[in-house]
């Protein structure tokens, strides 16, 4: 384990329930009681600068991401790849923490910082921005975009009701062109689709199991395509997802890739009423086109040495 004695906690004040912020204070107090130096900050620029300084002097033990999946993403995009990160999940879904068996129990987090084991995992890069869990484009990304436009502070799953209804009235399910580089390094043209979901970690909101075979340590991304457009096909897809039968459906495709390109077809050009949004790890990413690459072993996480993966 890293011999550094300093721990930085990056606390996102907007993540999850307001009461969760008390847990950040408790964690910092517990770390200090264990003989470690702990500092909490909501300024990512300060965390970036201070972590670099401490790490250069061999004083940094870990950076704690106290927030949701977006908080972890923000840190990965800012910090040196050699810096170890512990996830202290305080968000709405906390998909990455669930995969690695991490909780916001203060005693467990304190123990992991002191005695945990480092694990390396792959990271995706979407037009240069790093992500950890998944990326999607189409209807669910429109919901995320609508949610982001109205979000004010803490949210829960019910907060998505309005954005879903607005997306249902607005989104027109334009077709998406899909091309990629397969695991054999051969370029493949996957045609067009209405829905595209790309997984590094086998997790999605509401515990939907799009791609349980995804593995964040295998050097590949798992792409799930649902070809047909519209609300009715989407409702059918969701019903099959709930009972884990979607991979046997006609119109569904699964392929493993090292990189891919997603673009609107000619009639869905950017700037038209049919522009296609994408989301990364639950946050808006922009609109297509997009190029996605995998960066093997880009991130080092700290996990409990006795934890069991929840895949």
Residue 79 resides in a domain = yes
Q: Are residues 157 and 289 in the same domain?
A: yes
Q: Are residues 13 and 86 in the same domain?
A: yes
Confidence of residue 201 (pLDDT cuts 50, 70, 90): very high
Nearest CA among 241, 245, 250, 290 for reference residue 270: 290
The predicted-structure confidence for 270-296, as pLDDT tens digits, reads as follows 445 568 999 999 899 999 999 999 999
Confidence of residue 309 (pLDDT cuts 50, 70, 90): low
Query: According to the model, what pLDDT value does residue 160 have?
Result: 73
Please state, in angstroms and rounded to a whole number, the distance separating the CA atoms of residues 97 and 90: 10
Per the structure block, which two tokens stand in for 109?
């987090």
Q: Are 310 and 99 in contact (CB under 8 A)?
A: yes
Q: What percent of the chain is helix, strand and coil (3-state, nearest 5)?
A: 30, 35, 35
Query: According to the model, what pLDDT value does residue 78 have?
Result: 97
Residue 265 resides in a domain = yes
Looking at every residue in the chain, the average pLDDT score rounds to: 91
What is the rounded average pLDDT of the residues 198-227?
96
- DSSP annotation string for 158-212: GGGHHHHHHHHHH-----EEEEEEETTS-EEEEEEESEEEEESSS--GGG--S-T
Residue 94 belongs to what domain range?
A: 6-116
Nearest CA among 164, 191, 172 for reference residue 180: 191
Q: Are residues 86 and 137 in the same domain?
A: no
Query: According to the model, what pLDDT value does residue 274 have?
Result: 66
- Asked which of 93, 116, 139 is the last residue of a domain, the reply is 116
Is it the case that residue 310 has pLDDT exceeding 60? no
Q: Are residues 102 and 142 in the same domain?
A: no
Q: Are residues 43 and 155 in the same domain?
A: no
* Total of domains in the chain: 2
The predicted-structure confidence for 29-61, as pLDDT tens digits, reads as follows 999 999 999 999 999 999 999 999 999 999 999
Q: Are residues 134 and 253 in the same domain?
A: yes
Residue 277 resides in a domain = yes
- Asked which of 116, 151, 184 is the last residue of a domain, the reply is 116
Nearest CA among 291, 289, 286, 294 for reference residue 141: 286
Please state, in angstroms and rounded to a whole number, the distance separating the CA atoms of residues 297 and 76: 12
Residue 18 resides in a domain = yes
Q: Are 5 and 36 in contact (CB under 8 A)?
A: yes
- Asked which of 60, 91, 116 is the last residue of a domain, the reply is 116
The predicted-structure confidence for 58-104, as pLDDT tens digits, reads as follows 999 999 999 999 999 999 999 999 999 999 999 888 999 999 999 99
Share of the chain above pLDDT 70, in %: 91
CATH code for position 17: 3.40.50.10330
Q: Are residues 150 and 246 in the same domain?
A: yes
Query: According to the model, what pLDDT value does residue 302 have?
Result: 97
Is it the case that residue 116 has pLDDT exceeding 50? yes
């Amino acid at each position: 384990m890293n011999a550094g004695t300093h721990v930085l906690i990056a606390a996102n004040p907007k993540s999850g329930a307001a009461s969760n912020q008390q847990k950040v204070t408790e964690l910092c107090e517990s770390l200090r009681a264990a003989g470690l130096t702990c500092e909490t900050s909501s300024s990512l620029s300060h965390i970036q600068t201070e972590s670099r300084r401490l790490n250069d002097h061999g004083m940094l033990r870990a950076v704690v991401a106290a927030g949701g999946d977006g908080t972890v993403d923000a840190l990965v995009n800012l910090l040196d790849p050699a810096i170890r990160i512990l996830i202290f999940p305080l968000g709405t879904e906390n998909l990455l923490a669930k995969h690695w068996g991490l909780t916001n129990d203060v005693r467990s987090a304190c123990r992991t910082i002191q005695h945990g084991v480092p694990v390396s995992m792959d990271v995706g890069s979407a037009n240069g921005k790093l992500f950890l869990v998944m990326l999607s484009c189409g209807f669910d990304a429109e919901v995320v975009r609508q949610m982001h436009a109205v979000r004010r502070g803490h949210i829960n799953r019910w907060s998505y009701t309005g954005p879903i209804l607005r997306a249902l009235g607005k989104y027109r399910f334009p077709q998406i062109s899909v091309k990629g580089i397969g695991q054999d390094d051969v370029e493949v043209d996957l045609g067009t689709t209405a829905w595209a979901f790309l997984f590094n970690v086998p997790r999605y909101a509401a515990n939907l199991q799009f791609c349980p075979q995804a593995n964040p340590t295998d050097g590949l991304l798992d792409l799930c395509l649902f070809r047909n457009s519209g609300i009715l096909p989407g409702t059918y897809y969701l019903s099959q997802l709930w009972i884990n039968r979607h991979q046997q459906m006609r119109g569904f495709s699964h392929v493993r890739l090292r990189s891919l390109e997603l673009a609107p077809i000619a009639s869905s050009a950017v700037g038209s009423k049919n522009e296609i949004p994408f989301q990364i790890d639950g946050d808006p990413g922009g609109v297509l086109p997009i190029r996605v690459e995998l960066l093997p072993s880009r991130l080092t996480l700290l996990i409990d040495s006795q934890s069991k993966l929840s895949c």
